[in-house]
Each structure stands twice: as structure tokens, then as C-alpha cells.
Amino acid sequence: MTLPKPVSRLIEEFQRLPGIGPKTASRLAYHLLRVPEEQASTLGQLLLDLRAQTRFCSVCFNITDTATDPCAVCRDPQRDGSLLCVVEAPLDVQAIEHSQGFKGRYHVLHGAISPVEGIGPENLKICELVERVRVGEIREVILATNPSMEGEATAMYIHRQLQGLPVRVTRLARGLPVGGDLEYADETTLFRAIEGRSEM
């Protein structure tokens, strides 16, 4: 069956989203055809606002709004500036914050080293991390990359880059499942993993 071009293009775009296959993409597109025009317009505007009104924090590279830089966490005087948690993605920051077990600051890498996908250290915020440690007040770096092959490779690479600097490098405890993502872990698991971190 030949679909109208706007429908087929929307289905194609939905399929580019993580976890969305052809059937789900089709269901979403047809759902949007049935909703009131006002609701579809609101969704479209929110997508435009997402790009126009957000940016990455100039310090930690987490998501912040365009009017707030550095982000709220980086500006919070109650946070322990000597403790830095390194994560792969902004969703990982959100997961750790929900655990309420970490009161330091963050550094978001925006990915993990993956030669298969063509992602090397130069594609991540690793140089910025090393510079932050070199010039800042940081005493401990917690490597909270995902417990996957890519996350482990990234943690080992960062550990090597930080050798020789006066900083303690730790890794989250093994309470997290291998192959899992931080964003799917429950708060208790994350809290215990942070509390039980070990020397690298």
C-alpha cells in the first residue's frame, strides 16, 4: 500500500528514535493523525522548543536551558565540588539524582568508546574531563559508566588519562547488572553502587 508522503516520512523519522521499530513508528504516526489538531501542534512546538531552549552546560555538559549556564547542579553551593561523577549520558545523571545518594557534581561524556560504531575518545568529553581535574578542586573521580564492554573500555581509558594527577579514581560497585544501563536501575541499586564504589 502506498502511503501519503507526509505519513511515510513521519514513520521513517520515528524509526530513527531509539527503541522504535516499524510497527511502533506506524502506530505513533496513525495516532497523531487521530488526535485533535491542537494536540499535534503542541507536540510539534515542544519539539522545536526542545532544540531552541536547551543547551549543554559549559562545565559538566549535562542538559540545561539556554538561560541557565552553568547548570543548576554546577552552581549549587551545597554540592561537594571535590567529588566528580563521570557518566555516559544526561539520563544517567537523572537516574543517580533519583537515588538521592550522591551530593557531588557530574561530568557527562555523551557516549562511550565503541570502535565498532566509530566512536573514539576524541568524540567524547574526555579531554574536558582531564582539564577539569587538572585545574579544579576535584579529589575523587567516580567512574559511573555503564557496566558494558564499551563502558568498561571507557572507564579504563579515563583511568589511564588521569594517572599522574593528584586524584582518587573509583568505579561504581558491582551492584549493577553487566550489560544494563544506569537509567533502568532502581534507586536502591544505584544508591548501594555509589556507597560501595571501589578503587580503580
Spell out where 33-82 has E strands.
54-56, 63-65
Question: 198 φ, ψ to 5°?
Answer: -125, 165
> What pLDDT sits at residue 87?
98
> What pLDDT sits at residue 1?
66
Q: Measuring CA to CA, which residue among 198, 186, 188, 191 is closest to residue 159?
A: 198
Same domain, 180 and 120: yes
> What pLDDT sits at residue 148?
87
> What pLDDT sits at residue 195?
76
d(C-alpha 194, C-alpha 179), whole Å? 18
Domain count, the chain: 2
Reported pTM:
0.80
Taking a C-beta distance cutoff of 8 angstroms, is the pair 87, 154 a contact? Answer: no
Same domain, 35 and 79: no
Residues of the chain with pLDDT under 50: none
Summary mean pLDDT of the chain: 92
Amino acid at 184: Y
Query: Which domain does 47 fall in, by range?
Result: 5-52
> What pLDDT sits at residue 191?
81
pLDDT in tens, 10-38: 999 999 999 999 999 999 999 999 999 99
> What pLDDT sits at residue 113?
97
DSSP 72: H
> What pLDDT sits at residue 175?
66
By DSSP bridging, strand 83-87 and strand 140-143 are parallel
DSSP, collapsed to helix, strand or coil, labels residue 170 as: strand
The strand pairing partners of 137, in sequence order, are none
Within-domain flag for 131: yes
Residue in this structure with the C-alpha cell 582518587, named with its chain if needed: 168
The CATH number covering residue 31 comes to 1.10.8.420
d(C-alpha 10, C-alpha 148), whole Å? 33
Same domain, 47 and 87: no
Same domain, 82 and 175: yes
